[in-house]
């Protein structure tokens, strides 16, 4: 509607057009203008006679949408018309009210109350309206004191008349009045109790008590709380004087609460306050220790403090001393807390080692890492039976981590090697294997000679003995040990490994699903029994593969190991990822090849929703394959919009681990994730005496050429039945290669798009290796336009890779790149005048199908005014339907954020792993279900740096120009959709 039509229409006609051609805000603005600009009678007549719905609409407007909310006199003009109808419009009462406004509002309130009483209106319409919406306007700066108290008394009387309970939370907008009371009246009104007491106490606690002289604290309230102990009981004030005063008359349940208050005060108080609290603690514990003991026993992690621990230890308090260590063990589940308590824990366990027996194992592992040699010597006799009685792997790991601090003699004295029970035996094994002292050898030999170690453990001990030069130390093992142990070291010394394996009779039941003739045959030349032993020691091992498994795998040819890994993966997947069979995938690292990749990816996709934990496990194992193709698929998973967050998180962890193994950053790793499958160096497959070269063609198909240069698309079939297995393996390899190539090619478009929008740059030599020398990318990338950065000597800085793999510009002139320059994908945001048009003509002439739409990318940069308060704002406000916003954001690559209160999704997130950035687009109410037509206001976009802790905020103005242009293009697309 035009401005002329708006002013000419009647208010009734304008109201009829609400939500069709007129917004609520525009209607409110016109109504306000008429009330104040010469058409007041029309506005008054309308407001006195309009339907309730109209007043409700006006009442819901606030802030910039409501003209009256920013001016007290304008608000009052509306109040004169709406209050008699039982409606109050919103406004900033704390900023706009004054003596004049307050006086007239009081008169309006009294008139409305008189009407409500005479008409017998419900409480919420009468007194409720006054206390909820008009009372805030009655308090103003500089208010006469008698008016403050009389207004407060009037409000209390109205609550009484309405029948509200004193602790009624609502209809109590008296905080501005409370703030103006003197100290004496503050206490007088506090005695009323209920909600008024709560507000008085909050005001004193937050405003006045911090300004009291040092040491004064709550002394002015001592008489008050002596008279009203029930009010103190609901106040949760941790002042020592008040706690001490209340203690004498408190029953057992209340004393427990007071003990908790005092212990909490020790945690957060300053040194001066802490002294008085400790003095009170000594007095109350001497009088009645039970409440304090119960708090430490049941809530130790929250009630323990460094001050309390040091004080109790200093005074050797018999009642609380035994409870300190269990409480500190609960508290120290974080490294920073453990550092704070380190010296106290060491001193305490050295003085009182028996206290360790009172600490649950789940908490004990928290404090063990701080023990040093002295404290370990003192506590080992106590720890030994605890370890013997616990099968917790965390406890064993904690003790192994302390190995360097444990004197070997102390282990012997504590009986660790004297026929130890199973749990102690395993801990002894882990500690001795981790111990750095070369003198550990005889103890390892003694442990091995005891005959109680399983085959996996025994092989680890033998390997350590070999490293120490004590290979023969384990020769005198018992018959029992020989029945379940074998040494790869002994095999290296000439002892027949197969003969040793034959003595292993007891095999784990876990290998049964894998004990098939077909799978065992893949372990050739190992015998079937040796193959079963390989599976057995892999199943019973803890963590990685034991040395015995490594020695057995070394006897299997590489291709058979890869086929074995594939068979294990297929069996695990066939079991729907059964956790009890997951041990078999320990055999993957270093042995599996790309044949397992697609199977694991398919499992991830199938298990994404029904078996989320198993899908994440499959991603972990995919990352362990560690080939470029496997990691490329992991990257694909990390960026997929269809996979759950837990699966994506697991993929990101796997990629960070792979980058760390290669000593490079994650973005650098992503550059490497385009495998050439050996095609760059020349791939050869053999079937019997015949060799075949596999070559990549310009159309990305594979050509197979034999020794006589005869080419075909497949490996010729063989007539010799003996060669059939080799032919089938080679054909399967070729098929896998062809499928993998298609997957890799499919990944290049999103990869190059990410590089385009992020403005990614490569040093020249790295770019030449990644894109020019790469047999796949130099074919795929012919339609890409590149740009030489930092190359001022070039007449034209943009170029492409020609069919003969030379570099040419838009005029087909050869480009020679200068040393030291870097290369990026050309983007219109950094183009020279006319450059886009020239390349459009060039690409059309050569009929090149672009891999990514570089020429159609948005070139517009955000205006300076769009950068505000750390956000990038849209050029103009944007509101569009939920389904439109969700559809476009999905197209742009954003994922919905977490569901918050409402329920509502308050932001969508676009992750750019290549830049280690996360872009968070905030918007209004967006329910997690589809509400067709629901308007959603777009607010702005924040940037988070994923390379920094907790994803610290980053300045959007510092983003690369191509990325800023991309984001501006997204704003424009959203605006166009909203306007359509």
231/229 Cα distance (integer angstroms) = 5
Strand partners for 938:
878, 923
pLDDT digits (tens, 9 = 90+) for 793-839: 887 899 999 988 999 999 999 999 999 899 999 999 999 999 999 99
Of 907, 926, 905, which Cα lies nearest the Cα of 918?
907
CB 920 within 8 A of CB 909: yes
462/485 Cα distance (integer angstroms) = 10
CB 46 within 8 A of CB 31: yes
How far from 634 is each of 619, 662, 746, 750, CA to CA, in Å?
7, 16, 14, 14
462/488 Cα distance (integer angstroms) = 8
How far from 720 is each of 37, 353, 358, 686, 726, CA to CA, in Å?
103, 76, 74, 14, 11
pLDDT digits (tens, 9 = 90+) for 869-923: 999 999 999 999 999 999 999 999 899 999 988 899 999 999 888 788 999 999 9
CB 382 within 8 A of CB 353: yes
Rounded to the nearest angstrom, the gap between the alpha carbon of residue 848 and the centroid of all alpha carbons in its chain is: 43
CB 905 within 8 A of CB 896: yes
Query: E strand or H helix at 562, and its extent?
Result: helix 558-574
pLDDT of residue 496: 57
CB 592 within 8 A of CB 566: yes
Buried b (16+ CB within 10 A) or exposed e, 202-234: ebbeeeebeeeeeeebbebbbebbeebeebbee
Weakly modelled stretches of the chain, pLDDT under 50: 475-495
Of 440, 460, 461, 437, which Cα lies nearest the Cα of 449?
461
**Residue count (the chain):** 980
Indicate the angle between helix axes 271-287 and 290-303, nearest 10 degrees. Answer: 140
Helix (H, G, I), strand (E, B) or coil at 864: helix
762/768 Cα distance (integer angstroms) = 9
459/80 Cα distance (integer angstroms) = 92
State the residue for tokens 């890409």: 784
Strand partners for 940:
922
CB 419 within 8 A of CB 387: no
Order of strands, sheet of 807-808, starting from the edge strand that comes earlier in the sequence: 761-763, 822-825, 786-789, 798-801, 807-808
Helix (H, G, I), strand (E, B) or coil at 918: strand
742/572 Cα distance (integer angstroms) = 26
Domain topology for 864-979: TATA-Binding Protein (3.30.310)
Pairing relationship of beta strands 899-900 and 907-912 according to DSSP bridges: unpaired
CB 359 within 8 A of CB 325: yes
Task: Phi first, then psi: give them for residue 395, nearest 5 degrees.
Answer: -70, -40
Query: E strand or H helix at 241, and its extent?
Result: helix 240-247
Cite the beta strand spans of 654-804 per DSSP E: 683-687, 690-696, 702-705, 711-712, 761-763, 786-789, 798-801
Buried b (16+ CB within 10 A) or exposed e, 780-813: bbbbbbbbbeebeebebbbbbbeeeeebbbbeee
Q: If you ran DSSP here, which 8-state letter would residue 876 be given?
A: S
Question: How crowded is residue 946: how many other Cβ atoms within 10 Å of its Cβ?
Answer: 17
| Helix intervals (H) in 759-856 | 764-767, 777-780, 835-845
Task: Phi first, then psi: give them for residue 616, nearest 5 degrees.
Answer: -65, -40
Helix (H, G, I), strand (E, B) or coil at 276: helix
Buried b (16+ CB within 10 A) or exposed e, 467-477: ebebbebbeeb
761/962 Cα distance (integer angstroms) = 12
What are the DSSP calls for 602-666, one per residue?
Answer: HHHHHHTTTTHHHHHHHHHHHHHH--HHHHHHHHHHHH-SSS-HHHHHHHHHHHHHHHHHTTS-H
381/747 Cα distance (integer angstroms) = 60
pLDDT of residue 485: 40
Task: Phi first, then psi: give them for residue 762, nearest 5 degrees.
Answer: -125, 135
Residues carrying CATH 3.30.310, the chain: 864-979
620/611 Cα distance (integer angstroms) = 15
pLDDT of residue 1: 54
Strand partners for 881:
935
CB 677 within 8 A of CB 597: no
856/850 Cα distance (integer angstroms) = 11
Cis-peptide into 880, omega within 30 deg: no
CB 776 within 8 A of CB 745: yes
């Amino acid at each position: 509607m035009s401005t002329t039509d708006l002013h000419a229409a009647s208010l009734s006609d304008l109201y009829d057009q609400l939500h069709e051609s007129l917004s609520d805000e525009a209607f409110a603005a016109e109504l306000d203008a008429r009330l104040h600009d010469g058409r007041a009678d029309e506005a008054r007549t309308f407001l006195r006679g309009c339907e309730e719905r109209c007043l409700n609409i006006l009442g819901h407007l606030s802030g910039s949408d409501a003209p009256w909310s920013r001016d007290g006199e304008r608000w009052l003009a509306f109040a004169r018309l709406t209050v008699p109808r039982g409606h109050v419009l919103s406004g900033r009462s704390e900023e706009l009210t004054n003596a004049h406004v307050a006086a007239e509002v009081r008169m309006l309130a009294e008139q409305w109350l008189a009407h409500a009483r005479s008409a017998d209106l419900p409480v919420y319409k009468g007194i409720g309206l006054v206390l909820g919406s008009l009372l805030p306007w009655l308090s103003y700066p500089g208010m006469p004191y008698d008016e403050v108290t009389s207004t407060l008394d009037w409000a209390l009387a109205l609550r009484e008349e309405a029948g509200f309970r004193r602790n009624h939370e609502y209809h109590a907008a008296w905080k501005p009045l409370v703030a103006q009371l003197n100290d004496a009246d503050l206490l007088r009104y506090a005695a009323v109790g209920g909600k008024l007491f709560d507000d008085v106490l909050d005001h004193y606690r937050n405003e006045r008590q911090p300004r009291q002289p040092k040491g004064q604290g709550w002394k002015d309230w001592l008489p008050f709380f002596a008279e009203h102990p029930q009010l103190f009981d609901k106040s949760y004030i941790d002042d020592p004087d008040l706690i001490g005063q209340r203690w004498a008359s408190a029953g057992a349940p209340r004393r427990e609460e007071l003990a908790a208050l005092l212990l909490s005060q020790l945690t957060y108080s300053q040194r001066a306050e802490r002294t008085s609290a400790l003095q009170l603690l000594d007095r109350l514990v001497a009088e009645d220790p039970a409440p304090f003991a119960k708090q430490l026993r049941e809530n130790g992690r929250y009630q323990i403090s460094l001050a309390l621990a040091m004080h109790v230890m200093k005074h050797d308090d018999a009642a609380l001393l035994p409870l300190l260590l269990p409480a500190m063990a609960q508290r120290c589940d974080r490294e920073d807390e453990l550092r704070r308590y380190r010296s106290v824990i060491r001193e305490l366990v050295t003085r009182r080692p028996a206290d360790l027996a009172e600490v649950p194992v789940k908490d004990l592992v928290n404090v063990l890492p701080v023990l040093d040699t002295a404290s370990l010597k003192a506590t080992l006799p106590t720890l030994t039976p605890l370890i013997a009685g616990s099968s917790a792997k965390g406890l064993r790991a904690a003790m192994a981590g302390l190995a360097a601090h444990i004197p070997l003699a102390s282990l012997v004295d504590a009986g660790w090697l004297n026929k130890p029970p199973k749990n102690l035996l395993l801990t002894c094994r882990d500690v001795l294997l981790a111990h750095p002292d070369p003198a550990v050898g005889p103890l390892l030999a003694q442990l091995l000679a005891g005959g109680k170690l399983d085959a996996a453990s025994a092989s680890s001990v033998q390997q350590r003995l070999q490293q120490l030069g004590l290979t023969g130390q384990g020769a005198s093992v018992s018959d029992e040990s020989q029945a379940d142990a074998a040494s790869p070291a002994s095999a290296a010394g000439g002892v027949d490994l197969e003969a040793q394996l034959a003595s292993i009779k007891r095999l784990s039941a876990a290998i049964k699903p894998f004990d098939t003739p077909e799978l065992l045959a893949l372990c050739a030349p190992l015998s079937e029994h040796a193959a079963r032993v390989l599976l057995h020691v892999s199943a019973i091992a803890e963590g990685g593969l034991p040395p015995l498994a490594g020695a057995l795998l070394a006897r299997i040819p590489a291709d058979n190991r890869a086929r074995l890994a594939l068979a294990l993966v297929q069996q695990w997947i066939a079991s729907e990822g059964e956790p009890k069979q997951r041990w078999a995938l320990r055999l993957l690292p270093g042995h599996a090849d790309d044949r397992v990749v697609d199977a694991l990816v398919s499992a991830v996709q199938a298990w994404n929703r029904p078996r989320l934990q198993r899908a994440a496990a499959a991603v972990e194992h995919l990352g362990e394959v560690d080939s470029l193709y496997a990691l490329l698929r992991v990257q694909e998973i990390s960026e997929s919009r269809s996979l759950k967050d837990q699966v994506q998180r697991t993929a990101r962890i796997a990629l960070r681990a792979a980058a760390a193994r290669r000593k490079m950053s994650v973005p650098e790793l992503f550059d490497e994730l385009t495998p050439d499958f050996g095609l760059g160096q020349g791939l050869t497959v053999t079937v019997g005496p015949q060799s075949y070269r596999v070559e990549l063609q310009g159309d990305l198909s594979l050509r197979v050429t034999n020794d006589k240069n005869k080419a075909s698309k497949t490996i010729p079939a063989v007539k010799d039945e003996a060669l059939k297995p080799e032919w089938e393996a080679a054909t399967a390899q070729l098929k896998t290669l062809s499928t993998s190539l298609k997957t890799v090619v499919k990944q290049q478009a999103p990869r190059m798009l990410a590089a385009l929008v992020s403005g990614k740059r490569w040093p020249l030599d790295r770019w030449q290796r990644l894109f020019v020398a790469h047999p796949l990318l130099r074919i795929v990338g012919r339609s890409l336009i590149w740009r030489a950065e930092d190359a001022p000597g070039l007449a034209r800085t943009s170029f492409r890779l020609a069919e003969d793999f030379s570099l040419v510009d838009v005029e087909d002139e050869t480009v020679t790149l200068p040393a030291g320059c870097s290369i990026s994908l050309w983007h219109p945001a950094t183009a020279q005048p006319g450059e886009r048009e020239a390349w459009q003509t060039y690409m059309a002439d050569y009929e090149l199908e672009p891999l990514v739409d570089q020429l159609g990318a948005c070139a517009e940069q955000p205006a300076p005014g769009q950068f505000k308060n750390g956000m990038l704002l849209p050029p103009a406000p944007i509101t569009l339907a939920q389904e439109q916003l969700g559809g476009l954001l999905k197209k742009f690559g954003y994922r919905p954020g977490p569901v918050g209160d409402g329920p509502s999704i308050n932001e969508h997130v676009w992750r750019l792993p290549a830049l280690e950035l996360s872009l968070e687009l905030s918007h209004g109410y967006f329910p997690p279900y589809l509400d067709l037509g629901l308007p959603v206001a777009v607010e702005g976009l924040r940037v988070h740096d994923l390379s920094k802790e907790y994803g610290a905020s980053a300045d959007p103005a510092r983003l690369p120009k191509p990325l800023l242009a991309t984001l501006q293009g997204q704003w424009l697309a959203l605006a166009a959709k909203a306007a359509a």
